[in-house]
Amino acid sequence: MTTLGLVGVPSSVAAHWPGQEQAPAALRAAGLVERLRQTGHEVHDHGDRPVRRWAAHPADGEPNNLGGVVEVLDDTRRAVAAVIEAGETPVVVGGECTLTIAVVSAFATAGQDVGLVYVDGGQDLQTPADHPHELIADGMGVAHLLDLPGTAPALSGFGPRRPLLTADQVCFFGYADHDEDVHGRVPSWRFPVASVAPDPPAAARLALAAVASVTSRFVVHLDVDVVNFLDLPAADVPQYRGLTLAQVTSAVTVMVGHPGFAGLVLTEFNPDHGEPDGSTAGRLAEAVAAVFTPAR
CA distance 84 to 79: 9
pLDDT of res. 2: 86
Per-residue pLDDT for 286 more than 60? yes
**In the chain, % of residues over pLDDT 90:** 93
**Each residue of 158-180: pLDDT tens digit?**
999 999 999 999 999 999 978 88
Please state the domain extents for the chain. 3-291
Query: How many Å apart are CA 41 and CA 9, to the nearest integer?
Result: 21
pLDDT at 294: 79
Burial 198-235 (b: 16+ CB within 10 A, else e): eebeebbebbbebbeebbebbbbbbbbbbbbbebbbbb
Predicted TM-score (pTM) of the model is: 0.97
Average pLDDT taken over every residue of the chain? 96
Tell me the average pLDDT across 258-268: 97
Task: Read off the pLDDT band of 78 (50, 70, 90).
Answer: very high
Q: Is the pLDDT of residue 133 over 90?
A: no
Mean pLDDT confidence for 258-270: 97
Average pLDDT over residues 55-75: 96
pLDDT tens-place string over residues 187-214: 999 999 999 999 999 999 999 999 999 9
**Range 227-233 average pLDDT:** 97
Instruction: Reply yes or no on whether the pLDDT at 82 is more than 60.
Output: yes
CA atoms of 210 and 9, how far apart (whole Å): 30
**How many C-beta neighbours within 10 Å does residue 238 have?**
16
What's the burial of 30, exposed, middle or buried (CB within 10 Å: 0-12/13-18/19+)? Answer: buried
What contacts 184, CB < 8 A, 6 or more positions away? none
Q: Is the pLDDT of residue 296 over 60?
A: no
Q: Does residue 295 have a pLDDT over 80?
A: no
DSSP-derived secondary structure for the chain? --EEEEEE--B-TTSSSS-GGGHHHHHHHTTHHHHHHTTT-EEEEEEEPPPB------BTTB-TTHHHHHHHHHHHHHHHHHHHHTTPEEEEE-S-TTHHHHHHHHHHHTT---EEEEESSS-----TTT-TT---GGG-HHHHHTT-TT--HHHHT-SSSSSSS-GGGEEEES--SPP--TTS----EEE-HHHHTT-HHHHHHHHHHHHHTT-S-EEEEEEGGGB-TTT-TTBSS--SSSB-HHHHHHHHHHHHTSTTEEEEEEE-B-GGGS-TTSHHHHHHHHHHHHHTSPP-
16-42 residue pLDDT tens: 999 999 999 999 999 999 999 999 999
Residue 126 contacts residue 185 (beta carbons within 8 Å)? no
The CATH architecture that domain 3-291 belongs to is 3-Layer(aba) Sandwich (3.40)
The pLDDT of residue 178 is 82
Q: Is the peptide bond before 163 cis (omega within 30 degrees of 0)?
A: yes
Q: Is the pLDDT of residue 101 over 70?
A: yes
Are 187 and 167 within 8 A, CB to CB? yes
**85 pLDDT above the threshold of 60:** yes
Please tell me the distance from the alpha carbon of residue 227 to that of residue 223, in angstroms, as a whole number. Answer: 8
